Amino acid sequence: MLRAALIAAALLAAPDASLAQLRPSQPEPPSGWTPKTLLHAKRHVVAAAHPLAVDAGVKMLEQGGSAVDAMVATQLVLSLVEPQASGLGGGAFFMYYDAPEKRVVAIDARETAPSGATPELLLGPDGKPLAFQAAVVGGRSVGTPGTPRLLEAAHARYGKLPWAKLFEPAIALAENGFPLSPRVAELLTKDKGLSDSPAARAYFFDANGNPKAAGAVMKNPEFAKTLRLLAAKGADGYYTGEVAADIVAAVRGYAKNPGSLSAEDLALYRVRDVEPLCGHYRALHLCGMPPSSSGGIAVLQILGVLERHDLAKVRPNSTEAVHLFSEAQRLAFADRNRYVADDRFVDVPVRGLVDAGYLAERAKLVRPEKSMGRAEAGTPAGVKVALADDPVDEVAGTSHIAIVDAQGNAVSMTTTIEGFFGSKIFVRGFLLNNELTDFNFSPVEDGKPVANSVAPGKRPRSSMAPFLVFDAKGGQLDMVIGSPGGSLIIGYVAKAIIGVYDWKLDMQKAIDLPNFGSRNGPTEIEKGTELEATSATLKAMGHDVRAIDMTSGLQGIRRVAGGWEAGADPRREGVARGR
């Protein structure tokens, strides 16, 4: 019935449309994509955003290290070779499967607002929200970083190799040099504000002030010194002493836009152990992050709404697929934008939002023949305060690491400094985050408080969605998945899960699928892909269609007979390697 309605709508919109136009053929991959080959491995796998980082992680596994040892080494190299996305100046969400204990662990290492932050932090002198660029560049946007504490905490619990050994690959690359990647080189040409920082200008630009080109040999002795200090002293070598002093001076001393981050903010930072947010989808048991991320809730909501449809009978990349997925996303984002924030500061109705009965009622709003347009937030059980909708978005920076070791332990970690090149402040060889711009700029909208407003010590809402997926019957780990991409992350991760389990694609093909969805605004389809052929049909159904760049960076690992298969996103430089 749904297919008939879609075809009828298409024919009304374009009377000369043929069935072939309704079922577009697979074109060549869009320009800029690097086709990736599905990896098969029997023992262990590392998938991350840069080959050098993956090599560092694999090296730790080959030397008897654990998944967490590999994660630490991988993250440290990513800090160096993919500096615009993640690193020591940012934060992360960490999901871990402890195979011997058959237990899922979740750690929130999100950045926090400094103790000196006020609800008016992101407002101008006129009381109106600052322009985004004005808020990002400089110390005002910098939150207290969480990544170094996370690396230490995870290693203390689950590491096997000596702490200092994990730093060796990154130190060697920082001192001996590595080639600037094409992706970073391209982003340098588009960035605004990075060259305002003298330290960043000296590192990323040549003597004439031009961004360094792809292939330029990058040496970062300052970062090597920082790493040696952390290797010797642990995370306290970052959060106290000379590194902390330099971070504070850079943030508070930024002339155009100083921040309030203090030495005490750094010294007092701790990661937060949280209960994994788990739910079911068909024959799967899925575990993601609870608040301060919205990613876990939103992915479970999307899947919960779509579970009412037989997606196995829906063709990938079809109008029907885009319609159903976009409508489910609208409902999830409507709830996200009203209710989700740091749950130490706001009562987030987490269980109500993912309750099966609530999602069944929400699913009734999805009409087979017509888009609902902008969705309204629902009223799940547990709502205590009337809140305003929050229009803030997240920009598409970030990185993801997926690892499985020989013992079956697994890491799914999404890591970030928020936007590309963060706050643009470069200190001790790394960039500081601009995470505070993930808060809503105004504490009040339409006379109602906003859940995701600024407060001292508060973690800004995120969309990061690292997931671990299990066979619900046997309880066996089946998939490790996650992606960068700002608020688009939610759709990317849900798409990959559906691609594997409903459409029976292998891990690489599921990652390769064109991206699509809606963040409760336009229906977004990935520019340059076959999905553009669905536009007329979708418009006839009431969708406001926009073809945009949707540069996911999915990294995924899935259990198969005899071991694992893994894939990395063709839209970025990542790879999956193992044996």
Which residue numbers are catalytic? 398
In the numeric block, which tokens belong to residue 251? 């943030």
Quick one: which H or E segment has residue 248?
helix 241-252
Distance separating alpha carbons of residues 451 and 279, to the nearest angstrom: 24
Closest CA to 438 of 395, 478, 480, 388: 395
* Residue that is written with structure tokens 């800004």 in the block: 460
Contact 142, 492 (CB under 8 A): no
Q: SS3 for 61? A: helix
Distance separating alpha carbons of residues 231 and 222, to the nearest angstrom: 14
* Residue that is written with structure tokens 């069944």 in the block: 360
Distance separating alpha carbons of residues 119 and 193, to the nearest angstrom: 25
Q: Which residues contact 242 (CB under 8 A, 6 or more apart)?
A: 229
Q: How far apart are the first and last CA of the chain?
A: 47
Distance separating alpha carbons of residues 180 and 82, to the nearest angstrom: 9
Cα 364–Cα 366–Cα 368 angle in degrees, nearest 5: 115
Strand (E) positions, 145-265?
178-179, 217-218
Q: Where are the alpha helices (DSSP H) in 318-410?
A: 319-339, 350-354, 356-363
Cα Rg of the chain (Å, integer)? 23
In the numeric block, which tokens belong to residue 363? 């699913």
In the numeric block, which tokens belong to residue 525? 């389809």
DSSP symbol at 526 = E
Using the CB atoms, write b or e for 500-510: b if 16+ within 10 Å: bbbbebbbbbb
